[in-house]
Amino acid sequence: MNTKVYISIRWKFLALFLGCMGLTLLFVLIGGLLASYVLKLNPYNVPLAWIINHVGSQPTMLIFGTIFFITLYIFVTRPLVLRAKELASVLEEMADGRLHTTVKVKASDELGTIAGNINSVSEQIHTYLEEINQGLAKIAKGNFEHEIPVRENHELGLIAQSINAMSEQLNRSIQEERNAEKTKNDLITGVSHDLRTPLTSILGFLEIIDKDRYTSEVELRYYMNIAYEKSLSLKKLIDDLFEYTRINNGMPLHLRELDVTGLIEQLAEEFVPSLEQANMVIRTHVPDHRVMIKADGDQLVRAYENLISNAIKYAKSGKYIDIYIEKKDGQVVVRICNYGEPIPKRDLPYIFERFYRVEQSRSKETGGTGLGLAITKSIFDVHGGEISVESSPRQTVFETRLPILE
């Protein structure tokens, strides 16, 4: 049998009620005997006799018994009432924000259970708030990787989850800011280096000419030609740098409907002189229908020009450049394949970074500004597209993807 039934508060009230009733009956019985005794004593019996004569003995006993019962019941139930008020006071303190408030468990009845639950809730909330507070302190010191434990099905867990999300976002923003600062510094360093090299050569040859340190007009023209070529390289670097920063700073796009098939075939025709000079041939493999996209034609032409120009520069030994166009998963996929020397695996992850050049291409004949592929990637990025590269001893493939116009 469950012993808790006997310590339930309802049984306590019932026991107190029955006890008060019993004591009241005893009080009435003893009172009646005392009244009988007092009635025989003159002159002390006059007030009692008057009450009995005018009210009646039974009503008098009922009145006094009721007053006694109520007084006794209030007295004996006062501890329970005070206990309930104490619990209510603790709950009010918690409602006011003093969550780490405890109450003594004085009994094993329902009020004791409530007190125990209040203590348990208070301790759980306090402990979890301490965890959140300590986590916030670590985050405030810059430890953005710290995660506050998230308790499921707990409203404070939602707060912890929001704090973790905020910390992650803040960490990401700080990292982006640091990367932007590093990018700016790297850009300045790269620009300084790439501008200084041709500029130093130009100044050197111009100094020779200025101080008449040449021996003949032929040598003079030779020095002037070198200075002119270096000036062209310098201008190309500045133009590419301007284009790169313009694209990455959110240049306005002049979007219109374009047929990718027609654009690629037109570019292939325009490169015929360069291809003949390099003893190469472009082979196009395109669908027999139009593939429409929405893009900035001038920028897209520049991007594909960069890719084809690189294939001509660095893959002359392959003789062929194959261009494939296909539709796949709601995108137009353009693959530009060449069969020259492969790009080293160590260089593939960095091929689209600005000022990055594959070592074997750093020659006077093929050396560029190191911004061509970076510009190309930026153009596809601002169009919501993608570009990737794969290279093996058999072939090197630059693959681009752009959303098809529905």
pLDDT for residue 267 is more than 50: yes
Of 86-100, 236-250, 355-369, 380-394, which one has max mean pLDDT?
A: 380-394
Predicted TM-score (pTM) above 0.75: no
Label residue 3 by pLDDT band (50, 70, 90): very low
pLDDT at position 363 is 41
**Lowest-pLDDT range of 220-224, 230-234, 295-299:** 230-234
**Lowest-pLDDT range of 67-76, 266-275, 370-379:** 370-379
Span 264-280, average pLDDT: 90
Q: CA–CA separation, 134 vs 128, rounded Å?
A: 10
Using an 8 Å Cβ cutoff, are 107 and 82 in contact? Answer: no
What is the average pLDDT score of the chain?
81
Strands 331-338 and 320-328: antiparallel
pLDDT at position 218 is 86
Write out the H or E segment, with its range, that includes residue 331: strand 331-338
pLDDT at position 308 is 92
pLDDT for residue 366 is more than 50: no
Label residue 324 by pLDDT band (50, 70, 90): very high
Which stretches within 211-279 are classed as H helix?
A: 217-248, 260-270, 272-277
pLDDT at position 315 is 85
Domain map of the chain by residue range? 3-125, 154-251, 254-403
Using an 8 Å Cβ cutoff, are 182 and 362 in contact? Answer: no
pLDDT at position 44 is 62
pLDDT at position 388 is 93
Higher pLDDT, 160 or 285: 285
> Domain 154-251 belongs to what topology?
Helix Hairpins (1.10.287)
Q: CA–CA separation, 367 vs 376, rounded Å?
A: 17
pLDDT at position 360 is 44
pLDDT for residue 262 is more than 80: yes
Using an 8 Å Cβ cutoff, are 105 and 115 in contact? Answer: yes
pLDDT for residue 196 is more than 70: yes
pLDDT for residue 191 is more than 70: no
pLDDT for residue 402 is more than 90: yes
Span 370-388, average pLDDT: 86
Question: What is 254-403's CATH number, 3.30.500.10, 3.30.565.10, 3.40.190.80, 1.10.10.10?
Answer: 3.30.565.10
Percent of the chain having pLDDT more than 90? 15
pLDDT for residue 389 is more than 80: yes
Residue 156: how many CB atoms within 10 A of its CB?
A: 16
Percent of the chain having pLDDT more than 70? 86
Reported as a single tens digit per residue, the pLDDT across 108-152 is 777 777 877 887 778 787 788 888 888 888 888 888 788 888 887
CA distances from 217 to 212, 214, 220, 223, 227 (A): 11, 8, 5, 10, 15
Higher pLDDT, 381 or 357: 381
pLDDT for residue 181 is more than 80: no
